[in-house]
Amino acid sequence: MKKLQGKWALVTGSSRGVGRQVALGLAEQGCNVIVHGRSLERCADTVARLKQYGVDVRVAAGELGTAAGDQAVIDAVAAEKVAVDILYNNAGIISEWSDSAFTIPMEEWQRVFQINVFSTVRLCNALIPPMVDRGWGRVVNVSSGIKNRPQRAPYSASKAAIDKYTRDLAVELAGSGVIISALDPGWLKTGIGGENAPRGVEAVLPGALVPVLLEDGSDGGNFFCAGDFQ
């Protein structure tokens, strides 16, 4: 029997890129998947690719990045009436390139933090407490290994916030059966990574599944790099 057989996972931003690869990897482990993207049409390709694994697949479409948009996605997940065992917070955006960190508009800081941090917090607030009640869960917050790029300060700062948030929640969740981790997918050829990245998006596996497959009782709050598991 596959380790995740019968579990349910919500993977945000799984209509393409890293999120799609994570969804495929989870399905290969027998996990049922709720695919998320901005629209039903954007999710169709991932849904089609998941059919080969014989798992149950649902879709929760909606635009993350505002309180109303986040709640709409949460409501769409709830409407499926399945217990989410795995929350994979993958959806995110990168900030626009700026010549100097001092000239980045505050609106850009707000835009990036809204989806990279605040949407993650709202999803965690909605979906982790039921995992605690059931005594089992895995949460993965996608982070980044970006450094020395002041031109992308909002993005790198948002990911640093995710790292600290993940460590804080790990303390809250200690002994609950729910294990939360952060994951750096690496520099990959994606919408965020760009075409100059050294590896294709497929290289995120199998490393991206490591924090989901942790043994019960493992420590939470750890930072994993997908590239370490090639």
Residues with active-site annotation: 155
17: region left, alpha or beta (phi > 0 left; psi from -120 to 50 alpha): left
Burial of 54 (0-12, 13-18, 19+ CB in 10 A): exposed
The encoded tokens of residue 198 equal: 């050294």
Q: How far apart are alpha carbons 212 and 39 in whole angstroms?
A: 26
Nearest to 48 by CA among 35, 61, 37: 35
